[in-house]
Amino acid sequence: QTSLDVGELTRLELYYDWGNDPPVVTIDEHPNKRSEARKQYAYQYPVFHDPLTKTYTIKMLVYSGATCMGEVTQTVELKAVPQIALSTVSRVCEYKHPFMLNAQKTSAVLGAGVFSGRGVTSAGKFNPALAGPGEHAITYTFTATNGCTVQQTQTVTVTPTPMVDAGNDQTLLYGEHYQ
């Protein structure tokens, strides 16, 4: 946010990582006029998993005319995004006993996760009979102690229990055969 008592802004420079990488900058040669709605500028910082936090200094320079300039700096702290990996479960038979689903946290970020989806119990077990035959999306949601959340979903296919029929019961005498 910037303002002038008299005149208009002629240039705005916004540095997103002033202390480490000054070339990451937005330059606006035509900032908005007083009568216009405020402009907003956005920048997507790179996602990181380690260290737990990174600090950036943002610097904004504004100009009115060719030589008048004002500046302000602000420090922001970004939090690491948790990184997880699910144990692969692609196909399972409908009659298989319920089993624990597994996920690993592969970054230093602390927190807790929970599985959800059809056939998933509150204890994190997958029950194929409860899910039923077909494809089911199983989602793992990890919420870090720093407030960041990450989700990963995989599809599990439950194959139906085959039906077997050997025909009607037969009585055979010793030495006879039946096909």
Q: Which two tokens stand for residue 178?
A: 């039946």
Return d(Cα 91, Cα 160) in angstroms, integer.
Answer: 11
The upper half-sphere exposure of residue 95, i.e. CA atoms within 13 Å in the direction of its Cβ, equals 4
Residue 36 has what pLDDT?
85
pLDDT tens figures, 120-155: 998 999 999 999 999 999 999 999 999 999 999 999
- Please return the burial class of 113, using the count of CB atoms within 10 Å of its CB with bins 0-12, 13-18 and 19+: buried
**Arithmetic mean of pLDDT over the chain:** 90
- Sole residue written with tokens 């790179």: 46
**Range in 46-50, 65-69, 78-82, 86-90 the model is least confident about:** 65-69
Residue 169 has what pLDDT?
86
Q: What angle do CA 91, 93, 98 make, to 5 degrees?
A: 100
% of residues, the chain, pLDDT over 70 = 99
Sorting pLDDT into bands at 50, 70 and 90, what band is 167? confident
Return d(Cα 81, Cα 110) in angstroms, integer.
Answer: 10
The upper half-sphere exposure of residue 48, i.e. CA atoms within 13 Å in the direction of its Cβ, equals 13
